[in-house]
Structure 1
Amino acid sequence: MVELAASVRVLEGCRPDALPLDALIAAGRPALLKGLARDWGLVRAGLGGHRPAMDYLRGRYNGRPVQYSYGGPEVAGRPFYDDGFTGLNCEVRRSGLDQVLDGIAAHLDDPHPPTYYVASLLVDASLPGFRADNDLDFDAHGVQAPPSIWIGNRVTASCHYDAPNNIACCTVGRRRFTVFPPDQIGNLYPGPLEPTPGGQAVSVVDFDHPDFARYPRFREALAVGQSAVLEPGDAIFIPSMWWHHVQGLDAFNVLVNYWWSSMPAYIPTPMHALYHALWTIRDRPEREKRAWREVFDYYVFGPADRAGEHLPEAARNMLGPVDEILARQLRAMLIDKLNR
């Protein structure tokens, strides 16, 4: 693994019932929340070993089939693209969580185990009752952030970004997080938008064995990257759009995370706009692209009220703040235009 000089800043004394959400978002940079989940039931079980942690999960599992990624020993714990970047090196399977845990348990001492990876499983759907002893109090902030659980062996989630804010709690095993600010996208060499190993394009750089001849700008990313190793009970805050590379360091690892958006539910993901811009703008002549950049700077990336400030309020329509009613009107208009 590449070494970084900078470490993620550490915040001590955070509690599940007193999350400093406003301060975290205002700071706009990652933070290691030391010991945030240290009193969780799963953390306590895991400190007794892998088997007690697995038994804890089995005892709260409702039998509903789960989806997971499986790869042979040659995958080396790194769900990724295939050699041609047109497919993936793992297959998606469905079975009971019990069977996944059995597969991991069978290879706990194997130096080259097959890869098992349950990713982003909604806790409430498959582990009812889990949150009674393992939860952060987002409700106290009026924030809807249903937790997801991630279960696997020594799995690496290649460097990627997520649109929502994220608090990830390390519950069993240790994990190394390596994070980069959003402006490093060009230095991280993202792979295809489709398919992807986990829903988002990931960096094609192998962080364990970086090929600087092929990916020279990766050195620039390393110069501003930060890292942190989370022990069981630690958590990390990752702001929206920050890139993060996550490595499970032990033979059995479990993480619980919470995503939440700063925007209301009626505002969709900007990824829709990205795909539309790739379709409608990217391949135009450079002169036209420069002109459209000015248009977007004026309407989108500048001050939110600039484009409509010289108009009467009643005439602003979509140039004014987007509420739920306007959002529905915009959606209907776009659907109508795209279907022509």
Structure 2
Amino acid sequence: MTERRTREIAGATLTDFSPAALLSAQEPVILRGLAADWPLVAAGRRGPKEAMAYLKRFDAGRPVVGYTGDPAIGGRFFYRDDFSGLNFDARRVGLSDYLDRIVAHLGDPAAPSFYLGSTDLDRYLPGLRAENDLPLPPPVEGRDPALASIWIGNRTTAATHYDMSNNLACCMVGPRRFTLFPPDQIANLYPGPLEPTPGGQVVSMVDLRAPDLDRYPGFAEAAATAQVADLEPGDVLFYPALWWHNVEALGAFNVMINYWWNDAPAFLDSPMTTLLHALLSLRDRPAAEKRAWAGLFDYYVWGDSGRPAAHLPEQMHGDLATLDDRAARRLRARLLERLNR
């Protein structure tokens, strides 16, 4: 694997923090020490038990989904060896009880793998953000606010995957390593099934700890494009939507807070809906037809959004009109009508 390092900004401060500037670069970047003064980071520096005690102060008492795997999986939450299912158990648990299970195995070299992923911070740990938060600008009218989540566990690995949102990953407790690949490496990462998935998103079938190049030869090309971001508590990593990332939590106890956001109107549908519909309507058509449809998509979707209607009088724009909430509702209703035929 490459040892190309993610670009860093040393001495980043909350005063000059600008998500818009990060997004414009469309490249991962580490903001060293941006969250170093947060109380959760300070608690973690005192030790895992102190960090857990701090988190328990905010436990709302709502059950969370905890993932638990046998020691044999080595912390990598994935599929079973025979692909008959997932290699871990997912159950609703009390947050504080789950933390107690982790602490009971802190000194155990053969500990089970514990992982609490993507848990809504405001719902399950209300008040934590009042003391530990990035000063994100208020959402532009018509756009959803950023979603803040927390990730907790012992030594675990989240298999290489992508998210559909931009991400700010804040390392709170324990060191963490991200290995990142640009979106155009999808074929060389050998994506798994669309469902089921270990954590909601499609994952690469390549194990970065021991890549099988006989089975996945294209991964050598992906590896040449990879970059590594090693984070210490207080560091923040930004990476854009659709960048593939493998995440290793390296401490005996690890906590991360992240923020997901999209720079797009809230009325837009998920592109995954489009992909699923394309599998149904386009994938298995003759190659010549697919090439022709690619030209139509270039014109209507990938190109200048105003061009298809530019030569038409306004009263004839119809579905080609500039989208707003009302137009999106109308278009969604038309789609549902066609799908239900």
TM-score range relative to shorter protein: over 0.9
2:26 aligned residue: 28
1:95 aligned residue: 93
CA distance in 1, matches of 2:259, 2:212: 33
CA distance in 2, matches of 1:252, 1:123: 18
Q: Which runs of 5+ in 2 are unaligned?
A: none
- Of 291-300 and 35-44, deviating more is 291-300
- Of 78-87 and 297-306, deviating more is 78-87
Q: Is 2:318 aligned against 1:317?
A: yes
Summarize the Cα distance change of 1:86–1:317 in structure 2 as closer, same or farther, 3 Å threshold: farther
| 8 Å CA contact 2:138, 2:145 repeated in 1 | no
| 8 Å CA contact 1:173, 1:232 repeated in 2 | yes
2:241 aligned residue: 240
CA distance in 1, matches of 2:138, 2:39: 21
TM-score, normalisation: structure 2: 0.96
Cα deviation for residue 85 of structure 1 reads 3.3
2:199 aligned residue: 198
2:224 aligned residue: 223
2:135 aligned residue: 137
| 8 Å CA contact 1:76, 1:113 repeated in 2 | no
1:47 aligned residue: 45
Cα deviation for residue 195 of structure 1 reads 0.3
User: Residue 328 of structure 1 aligns to a residue in which SS?
Assistant: helix
Cα deviation for residue 110 of structure 1 reads 1.9
CA distance in 1, matches of 2:221, 2:102: 37
CA distance in 2, matches of 1:176, 1:198: 18
| 8 Å CA contact 1:76, 1:112 repeated in 2 | no
Cα deviation for residue 61 of structure 1 reads 0.8
User: Residue 147 of structure 2 aligns to a residue in which SS?
Assistant: coil
1:268 aligned residue: 269
Summarize the Cα distance change of 1:276–1:102 in structure 2 as closer, same or farther, 3 Å threshold: same
| 8 Å CA contact 2:174, 2:249 repeated in 1 | yes
User: Residue 318 of structure 2 aligns to a residue in which SS?
Assistant: helix
RMSD over aligned CA atoms reads 1.4
Question: Where do 1:261-300 residues align within 5 Å?
Answer: 261-300=262-301
1:65-114, Cα deviation, whole Å (9 max, x unpaired): 11111111112111112234352111111111112111111111222321
CA distance in 1, matches of 2:308, 2:138: 36
1:163 aligned residue: 164
User: Residue 168 of structure 1 aligns to a residue in which SS?
Assistant: strand
State the AA in 2 paired with 1:237: F
1:117-169, Cα deviation, whole Å (9 max, x unpaired): 11111111111110111001114565711310000111111111111100010
State the AA in 1 paired with 2:175: R
State the AA in 1 paired with 2:239: I
CA distance in 1, matches of 2:84, 2:333: 34
Q: Is 2:149 aligned against 1:148?
A: yes
Question: Where do 1:97-112 residues align within 5 Å?
Answer: 97-112=95-110
CA distance in 2, matches of 1:98, 1:18: 36
Summarize the Cα distance change of 1:294–1:227 in structure 2 as closer, same or farther, 3 Å threshold: same
CA distance in 2, matches of 1:230, 1:24: 18
CA distance in 1, matches of 2:184, 2:26: 13
Cα deviation for residue 19 of structure 1 reads 2.2
State the AA in 2 paired with 1:133: E
Cα deviation for residue 17 of structure 1 reads 4.8
CA distance in 2, matches of 1:152, 1:144: 26
| 8 Å CA contact 1:79, 1:156 repeated in 2 | yes
TM-score, normalisation: structure 1: 0.96
Question: Where do 1:173-184 residues align within 5 Å?
Answer: 173-184=174-185
CA distance in 1, matches of 2:91, 2:15: 37
CA distance in 2, matches of 1:320, 1:28: 29
* Percent of residue pairs identical: 53
CA distance in 2, matches of 1:42, 1:176: 19
1:211 aligned residue: 212
- Of 322-331 and 309-318, deviating more is 309-318
CA distance in 2, matches of 1:90, 1:312: 58
CA distance in 2, matches of 1:114, 1:246: 18
CA distance in 2, matches of 1:207, 1:75: 14
| 8 Å CA contact 2:119, 2:150 repeated in 1 | yes
State the AA in 2 paired with 1:325: R
